[in-house]
Structure formats: C-alpha cells, structure tokens
Copies of this chain bind each other. A is one copy, B any other.
Amino acid sequence: MIDEQQLNKLFPSFEKELVSNMAAKADIREIPAGQLLIKTGQNIRSTMLITKGLVKIYREDEEGNEFFIYYLQPGQACALSMICATKRETSQIMARAMTDAEVVTIPLQYMDQWMSEYKTWYYFVLESYRSRFEELLITVDHIAFRNMDERLLFYLEKQQDSLKTHRFPISITEIAADLNSSREVISRLLKKLADKGHIRLDKNFLEILNLDFKAVD
C-alpha cells in the first residue's frame, strides 16, 4: 500500500485529491541496488516517479557501449517513461537503481487522464520535460564542443551535486563507461587532476577537493 504522507512530502506541489488518487491507482515497485528498471527496447506501459534511492539514466548502443545521461532522485519522474508510455513506444534508454530504490508506477491511462484533471500534475509533467530537455542540451554541448578532460570535470561536478557529498565510492572503470571512454584514458586524466590537487583517489573512493579552475592554466 502506498503511503500518502510520503507522497505528499516528495511531491509537495500535488493537490490532495491527486495524491489520494495516486495512492489508490498506482503501484509501488521496490528495486534492489544494481538492478535495471528499464531496458532499451523494452515496452513501457507506465510512468515512473522515484520515491527512494538514486536511479541512473543512460544510453546503450548495440555493442554495449554506455553513455551516462543523468540521475533521477526521489521526487523526480522519468520524463522518458512518460514519452514512451504515451506514445506506446519502446524505451530508448536504460534505467538502473544505483542504491536500493522505490518507484511509483502509474498506468498509462491515468497519466493522460490526470493531465486534464489535475493542474498540478500537468505542471509537474511539463516541468519534468523542461528540466530534462535542458540537461540533455547541456550534455550535447559537452560531447560536441569539449575535450575529455573538461567533460570529466563536468561529470565529477554532477556526481558531487547528485550524491551530495565530496567523497563517494566509484571505480575508474565505471567513470570511463559513463563517459563512453576507456579506463586508461580516464585513469591518466584523473592522475593529472590528482597531481594538481583537485581530487584525491583512494581505493574505490574519489574525493573532490576543489574543482575551481578559474585561476588554473
């Protein structure tokens, strides 16, 4: 059973009736850390709202290359799942729980119905599109215009912001996959950053000391 109080806290903009309706109509799905929520090519029949945990959204091509797009946090929706759901298309992305996670899944018909019934719902949907679109545009910028060293910095900042900590567990191999680069390349770039005192690496952890590059060559 869905906890209305929790929903209220995570989605404070939603009107009361919408929350009740959601609690009645939607399902809760628990996802253990590491498991996939959505797979490329999968049919999507529901919209997902994150209520717990951290979900990584990434792209994967035919050869298995990955490319990190963004994280979803509690209180956010998978904009892609709305797109795919309403168009009855297959997913173009992968979603993986990075920690134990919990999502509310809303069947397709309600997603659309609530759009006209609840103003707060469609504002929420629109805002999800907007913010993800902008994020995606910035991502395009980076891969189009920047070299790997700058992209790596941007990636680290994003991690810091999403994980809300300066020190987090991550493997170099994973960073390389996220940026669709190779372990060796990232290893060398990180070493440079460490040499300059911007980060510190210990086993399995990366600590960000200072990413302020304004005064650095």
Chain A contacts to B: CB under 8 angstroms: 59, 61, 65, 67, 69, 79-80, 83, 86-87, 92-93, 115-116, 119, 122, 125-126, 129-130, 132-134, 136-141, 143-145, 180
Q: Which residues of chain B are near A119, meaning CB under 8 Å? A: 116
Q: A93-B137, A136-B137, A143-B143 are in contact. Are A130 and B67 (CB under 8 A)?
A: no
Contact (Cβ within 8 A) A79 B133: yes
Taken together as a complex, chains A and B put the C-alpha atoms of A122 and B115 apart, in Å, by: 9
Q: Which residues of chain B are near A59, meaning CB under 8 Å? A: 137, 140-141, 144
Contact (Cβ within 8 A) B86 A134: no
Report the 5 A-B pairs with minimum CB-CB distance, sorted nearest first: A129-B129, A67-B144, A61-B145, A83-B130, A143-B143
Q: A136-B140, A140-B67 are in contact. Are A145 and B180 (CB under 8 A)?
A: yes
Taken together as a complex, chains A and B put the C-alpha atoms of A130 and B139 apart, in Å, by: 18
Number of copies: 2
Report A141 CB to chain B, min CB distance, Å. Answer: 6
Q: Which residues of chain B are near A136, meaning CB under 8 Å? A: 133, 136-137, 140
Can you list 24 A-B pairs, Cβ within 8 angstroms, ordered by A?
A: A59-B137, A59-B140, A61-B141, A61-B145, A67-B141, A67-B144, A67-B145, A69-B140, A80-B133, A86-B126, A86-B130, A87-B130, A92-B134, A92-B138, A93-B137, A115-B126, A116-B119, A122-B122, A129-B129, A136-B137, A136-B140, A143-B144, A144-B180, A145-B180
Q: Which residues of chain B are near A141, meaning CB under 8 Å? A: 59, 61, 67
